[in-house]
Amino acid sequence: MPWERRRYRRNKVWVEVDERGAPVLDDRGLAALRYKPEDERTYTVRPDDLGPVEAPPPAAAPEEPDQEPRPEPAAVEPPPGDGIVIYTDGASSGNPGPAGLGVLLLWREHRREIQRFLGEATNNQAELEAVLAGLRAVTQPGRAVAIHTDSEYVIGVLTKGHKVQANVELVAEIQAEMGRFAALTFVKVPAHAGVPGNERADRLARDAIRSGARD
């Protein structure tokens, strides 16, 4: 079957179509999507989410009339003392779908940002991959390190002994990495609540998805 250009949300993509130009649907009623025609990675999406490529990308939903405009997050301040603060976040467009990770590391006046496109992954996988990337970026594991994440799943499987039913190898890899730190703590932060470091990590993860989709 041929592949034709379509718009999926804010991205221009390639969709498998039949001889009439209609998306070919699988037994779940989903269409096949690729970000490049020669790419072997194929994703499935609802056909209702596809549109003609000349259509403008969907605008953000307007604020409710009685809702206060959401303020811009404050600048990220360096951590107090000599500890290392890490904000991690993962995102996926679909679950699974194109995914990315974002990491913000802060120590004294130093700052480092990491973003990476992960290909197809679930949101939980992306969250875990972000934590692993943050831990591996620390070159001084003898210092106190605090991982800030908005993922209940990450906190549960890494610190609360929740049963690991998926991502078993990835969780084990992170736990092995955690063993090299002298003082490692995890901090649960609220999602999309204006926490500056968390908002920055989220933006990095989503930018990674967009960059990967364009490559």
pLDDT value at position 35?
A: 76
- Pair 134, 43 in one domain: no
Residue with tokens 């990835």: 170
- Is 74 within a domain? no
Helices (H), strands (E): how many in the chain? 4, 10
For residue 202, the enclosing domain spans: 84-214
- The string over 96-135, giving b where at least 16 C-beta atoms fall within 10 Å of a residue's C-beta and e elsewhere, is bbbbbbbbbbbbeeeeeebbbbbeebbbbbbbbbbbbbbb
pTM beyond cutoff 0.75: no
pLDDT value at position 76?
A: 59
Helix axis angle for 123-136 and 196-214, nearest 10°, is 110
Whole-number Å distance between alpha carbons of 13 and 7: 6
Whole-number Å distance between alpha carbons of 168 and 128: 11
- Pair 96, 156 in one domain: yes
- Is 61 within a domain? no
pLDDT value at position 214?
A: 55
DSSP string for residues in 138-175: -S-TTSEEEEEE--HHHHHHHHS-----S-HHHHHHHH
Which pLDDT tens digits describe the chain residue by residue (215 residues)? 688 888 876 677 888 888 888 888 887 788 887 877 776 667 777 888 888 877 555 554 444 434 444 444 445 555 557 899 999 999 998 888 999 999 999 998 899 999 999 999 999 999 999 999 999 999 999 999 999 999 999 999 999 999 999 999 999 999 999 999 999 999 999 888 889 999 999 999 999 998 885 54
- Is 41 within a domain? yes
Tally the domains of the chain: 2
pLDDT value at position 80?
A: 59
Closest by CA to 147, choosing from 161, 158, 163, is 158
Whole-number Å distance between alpha carbons of 181 and 131: 14
- Pair 118, 30 in one domain: no
pLDDT value at position 63?
A: 41
pLDDT value at position 199?
A: 93
Whole-number Å distance between alpha carbons of 74 and 135: 25
CATH of residue 149's domain is 3.30.420.10
Q: Other CB atoms closer than 10 Å to residue 144's CB: what's the count?
A: 15
Whether 161 and 167 have beta carbons less than 8 Å apart is answered as no
Helix axis angle for 123-136 and 152-159, nearest 10°, is 60
- Pair 9, 98 in one domain: no
- Is 67 within a domain? no
